Amino acid sequence: MAMNPYLQFISNYAQLIRDAKSLPLGGFAPSPRPALKATAPRVLIFSPHPDDECVIGALALRLMQEAGMRVVNVAVTQGSNKARQPERWNELKAACDFLGFDLVATAPGGLEKITPETREQERELWSKHVKVISDILSEHKPRAILFPHERDWNGTHIGTHHLVMDALKSLPPAFECYAFETEYWGQMSDPNLMVETSTEDLGRLMAALSFHVGEVKRNPYHVTVPAWMMDNVRRAEVVGGQGGAPPDFMFATNYRIRKWAQGNLNHIFSGGKFLSKSQNPASLLT
């Protein structure tokens, strides 16, 4: 009887993951980045926690590298452990410096209690938080924003979704931007965009994630990001339609793209799209 070749494949795969856990954490020289114009259009990432900019930031990284856009990571919170907040800020700054992202704080130590419960039960505090985000949007006038979708499971992720949406609704009707909703803890039922990530970019994102030393020492989730991106590709029919041909991607991140205009999120195309690594992501913003 022939030996099962998949047993060796799985053994090698498991060993690769084990070996990756011993790789260095942070401390790498910054990645190459384009020379950005002072007038470069801006992309804002509204990160619920330090590290989200690395996990879901593949599209933002491509917009910077291929479309010459300035990426600004907005640290909505700095985690719930107050004792760790200064250290997490330093880790976050190092990760953003490595990737070439700008970094903006929402408040010393970050905003607190960013949850749906706060939105419902502590209206005055929530309004203050919304004002912080609306001021950042007004100041930076982004061409595009990234923020979690409404069912991203984690309470702070869901809270950040509502925080950004409430801030958008508070702005004048003339304010417009492209909105990319992201997923990590909870998958979207209706993503409409799959963005391929090259091995080079995935290596950059993993290295940046390793700068969050305190988090990945506790749980080395940075080494499983490639598997997560491979699973994103598995969901190609969710993006492109049941029975459709899957793209020839190894790694990808799924998003839901719409445009905020006249006080609403508006669909800009029907069906779903696949953006390969050979296509300029600026084509999404036209």
In a domain, 80, yes or no: yes
In a domain, 34, yes or no: no
**The domain that contains 104 carries what CATH number?**
3.40.50.10320
In a domain, 196, yes or no: yes
For residue 72, CA distances in Å to 24, 142, 237, 280 come to 26, 9, 32, 20
In a domain, 2, yes or no: no
pTM of the model: 0.97
Structure confidence by residue, pLDDT tens digits, 114-129: 999 999 999 999 999 9
At 33 the pLDDT is: 87
In a domain, 10, yes or no: no
Instruction: Report the candidate in 163, 128, 137 with the shortest Cα–Cα distance to residue 148.
Output: 163
The Cα–Cα gap between 261 and 264 comes to 6
At 191 the pLDDT is: 98
Where in the sequence is the domain holding 84, given as residue range(s)?
Answer: 40-285
The Cα–Cα gap between 56 and 53 comes to 6
8 A C-beta contact, residue 195 and residue 9: no
8 A C-beta contact, residue 28 and residue 189: no
In a domain, 87, yes or no: yes
Tell me the average confidence (pLDDT) per consecutive run of 10 residues in the chain, 286 residues long: 88 96 96 92 98 98 98 97 96 98 98 98 98 98 98 98 98 98 97 98 98 97 98 97 94 98 96 97 96
At 219 the pLDDT is: 96
Q: Label residues 135-173 b or e (16+ Cβ within 10 Å = b).
A: ebbeebebbbbbbbbeebebbbbbbbbbbbbbbbebbee
Q: How many separate domains does the chain show? A: 1
In a domain, 217, yes or no: yes
At 239 the pLDDT is: 98
In a domain, 3, yes or no: no
